[in-house]
C-alpha cells in the first residue's frame, strides 16, 4: 500500500460513502471522472487517490469496479477491525460524543467515559459507564484501549495528557483548544470546532 497525504486520507470516507450509495443503486462500475464530477474534485486527484489504495486498475471507458473499490477502501481504512476508545471529560461535548453512534460503522467502539465530577461517576450515557478519572490507567491498560478522546477544559488537558503518557494508549483525539505534548509513539490528532466556525464566520461577514 502506498503512502498518501493527510488530505487524501480525509477524502477516503467521501469516496466510500459515495460508492456505497452507487452500489445500493445497483451500479457496478464508476469512472474516476464521474466521481470527480459528483464530489466536485479534480479527476486527476481522484485517480491518484484511487490508485494509491486500489488493488485493481480501472479500465478505459469502463471505470472501476464498485464492489472491489469499496472492499479496498474498507481494508485500507481498516473499518472491520474494532478500535477501542474512551471519552475523557463528560461535559456537554463529551456527553454529546458518547451519545453519538455514527462512527460504529468505522469500527470505533467507545467503551466508557471518565470524569472528576462525583455526581456523574457511576452513571452512564448511551449504555456506556462513566468512571472516576483516577481509574484511567487501570481501565486503559486492562481493557486494551487504543484511542483517548479528550473533551475537557483547556486548562486540565495537559495534566490528563501526562497521565495518559503512562498508559498503553496509542492515539489521542484532542478536542481541547490546546496543543499537547505527547511521547513520540503516541499519535495526536487535534480537532477544533471553533476552527471551523472561524472560517464560516469570515464568509458570513463578506456578504454583510
Partner DNA sequence: ATAATATCGGTATTACAATATCGAAAGGTG
Partner DNA sequence: CACCTTTCGATATTGTAATACCGATATTAT
177 binds a copy of itself (CB under 8 A): yes
DSSP classification of residue 176: S
Residue 63 interacting partner from a copy of itself, DNA, none (CB closer than 5 to 8 Å by kind): DNA
57 binds DNA (CB under 7 A): yes
**Selected binder of a copy of itself within 70, 77, 116, 163 (CB under 8 A):** 77
**Selected binder of a copy of itself within 70, 93, 156, 165 (CB under 8 A):** 93
Which listed range, 43-51, 55-63, 159-167, 169-177, lies at the site for a copy of itself (CB under 8 A)? 169-177
Query: Using CA atoms, how far apart are residues 186 and 26, in angstroms rounded to an integer?
Result: 42
Query: Using CA atoms, how far apart are residues 163 and 173, in angstroms rounded to an integer?
Result: 15
* Site map 60..99 versus DNA, x via CB under 7 A: xxxxx-----------------------------------
Which listed range, 55-63, 113-121, 134-142, 175-183, lies at the site for a copy of itself (CB under 8 A)? 175-183
119 binds a copy of itself (CB under 8 A): no
Least CB distance to a copy of itself at residue 60 (A): 25
Q: Count CB atoms within 10 A of the CB of residue 174.
A: 23
Which listed range, 51-59, 79-87, 119-127, 146-154, lies at the site for DNA (CB under 7 A)? 51-59
189 binds a copy of itself (CB under 8 A): yes
Q: Count CB atoms within 10 A of the CB of residue 54.
A: 18
* DSSP string of 106-138, one letter each residue: GTEEEEEEEES-TTTTT-EETTEEEEEGGGHHH
Q: Which of 53, 83, 48, 46 is nearest to 68 (CA)?
A: 53
**Selected binder of DNA within 16, 19, 22, 58 (CB under 7 A):** 58
Query: Using CA atoms, how far apart are residues 149 and 189, in angstroms rounded to an integer?
Result: 10
The beta strands (E) that lie in 7-118 are given as: 29-30, 64-65, 83-88, 108-115
Place of cell 461517576: 121
Binding region for DNA (CB under 7 A): 5-8, 31-34, 41-45, 47-48, 50-51, 57-64
Amino acid at each position: 500500500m502506498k503512502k498518501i497525504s493527510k488530505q487524501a486520507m480525509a477524502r477516503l470516507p467521501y469516496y466510500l460513502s459515495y460508492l456505497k450509495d452507487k452500489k445500493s443503486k445497483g451500479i457496478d462500475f464508476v469512472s474516476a471522472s464521474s466521481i470527480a464530477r459528483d464530489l466536485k474534485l479534480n479527476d486527476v486527484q481522484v485517480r491518484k487517490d484511487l490508485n494509491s489504495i486500489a488493488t485493481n486498475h480501472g479500465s478505459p471507458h469502463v471505470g472501476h469496479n464498485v464492489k472491489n473499490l469499496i472492499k479496498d477502501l474498507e481494508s485500507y481504512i481498516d473499518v472491520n477491525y474494532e478500535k477501542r476508545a474512551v471519552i475523557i471529560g463528560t461535559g456537554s461535548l463529551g456527553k454529546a460524543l458518547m451519545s453519538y453512534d455514527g462512527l460504529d460503522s468505522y469500527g470505533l467502539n467507545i467503551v466508557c467515559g471518565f470524569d472528576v465530577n462525583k455526581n456523574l461517576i457511576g452513571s452512564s450515557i448511551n449504555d456506556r459507564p462513566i468512571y472516576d478519572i483516577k481509574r484511567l490507567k487501570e481501565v486503559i491498560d486492562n481493557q486494551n484501549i487504543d484511542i483517548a478522546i479528550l473533551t475537557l477544559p483547556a486548562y486540565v488537558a495537559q495534566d490528563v495528557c501526562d497521565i495518559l503518557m503512562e498508559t498503553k494508549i496509542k492515539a489521542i483525539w484532542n478536542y481541547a483548544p490546546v496543543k499537547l505534548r505527547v511521547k513520540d509513539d503516541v499519535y495526536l490528532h487535534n480537532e477544533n470546532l471553533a476552527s471551523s466556525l472561524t472560517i464560516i464566520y469570515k464568509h458570513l461577514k463578506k456578504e454583510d
